[in-house]
Structure 1
Amino acid sequence: MFTLTVRDHMMVAHSLPDPFFGPARALHGATYVVEAGFERAELDEHGVVLDIGAAGTALAEVLGQLTYRNLDEVEALDGRLTTTEFLARWVAERLAERFEREDLAAITVVLREHPDAWASYRLRLRW
């Protein structure tokens, strides 16, 4: 399996209104380093998994929907606890929509919230 990974970042505000999250129940900021890995069983006719520029642009555009926003006010996320894990899946699904015509096997999104803490989601597309 071949993988191409691109990286970007986003800064957001949100709250996690459940007693489980302790002080994170209150509105707070988060800066995520976001990595998107695109997997393909075989390289395409150009010898690549995906055009690296297209992958980076797509990631920037998806993150741009959330960057510098209060996620509690984003209609598409209404009623959801915007945990790091949830956001990793949300980003992976938006990226999959942009590359649905590619022969990708999976997309893995990693959100690094801190140098010592991160979460990821792997979206299988084809097997």
Structure 2
Amino acid sequence: MYSLGMRREFSARHYLIGGDWGAENREHAHHYRMELVLEALNLDRHGYLVDIVEVEQHLEAVVADFAGHTLNDLAAFAELNPSIERLTTILHTAFRTRLAHLRLEALTVTLWEDDIAWTSYRAPL
């Protein structure tokens, strides 16, 4: 199985809902570090897993949908707690949709909200 990973960083704001999490219930910012990993059994006829330039364009578009925004205000988080786990799943869905035309076996999104806390979501395609 081949894997190809790419990273991006972006900042966004959020506040947690549905529980008493102290300061986390007040709007605050995170500088997120995201890693996208694509997996496939075979390379294309040029010896590539994917066209990196194309994947970079999708990365930029997805990040633009979240960067600089308050996550709670986005339709994807309507009535949902914007936890790092939920954000990772929503990012995964966005990439899954955008990259559906590629012959991938799996896609993983890993997201750090600081230097010690991260989450990851991997699913076969």
Q: Which TM-score tier does this pair reach, normalised by the shorter chain?
A: over 0.9
8 Å CA contact retained: 1:16, 1:81: yes
Partner of 2:3: 3
Q: Is 1:120 equivalent to 2:90 in the alignment?
A: no
**Which aligned pairs between 1:55-94 and structure 2 lie closer than 5 A?**
55-94=55-94
3-state secondary structure, aligned to 1:24: helix
1:97 offset after TM fit, Å?
A: 0.8
1:60 offset after TM fit, Å?
A: 1.4
1:76 offset after TM fit, Å?
A: 2.6
Under a length normalisation based on structure 1, what TM-score does the superposition of the two structures give? 0.92
One-letter code aligned to 1:99:
L
- Deviation string 1:58-82 (CA, Å, 9 cap, x unpaired) is 1111111011011111123211111
Root mean square deviation of aligned Cα:
1.2
Under a length normalisation based on structure 2, what TM-score does the superposition of the two structures give? 0.93
8 Å CA contact retained: 1:9, 1:34: yes
One-letter code aligned to 1:109:
V
3-state secondary structure, aligned to 1:19: coil
3-state secondary structure, aligned to 1:8: strand
1:123 offset after TM fit, Å?
A: 2.1
8 Å CA contact retained: 1:7, 1:56: no
Report the Cα distance in structure 1 between the residues aligned to 2:74 and 2:34, rounded to whole angstroms. 19
8 Å CA contact retained: 1:93, 1:123: no
Distance 1:21 1:49, change over 3 A: farther
8 Å CA contact retained: 1:89, 1:123: no
- Segments ≥4 residues shifted beyond 6 Å: none
Unmatched segments (≥5 aa) in structure 2: none
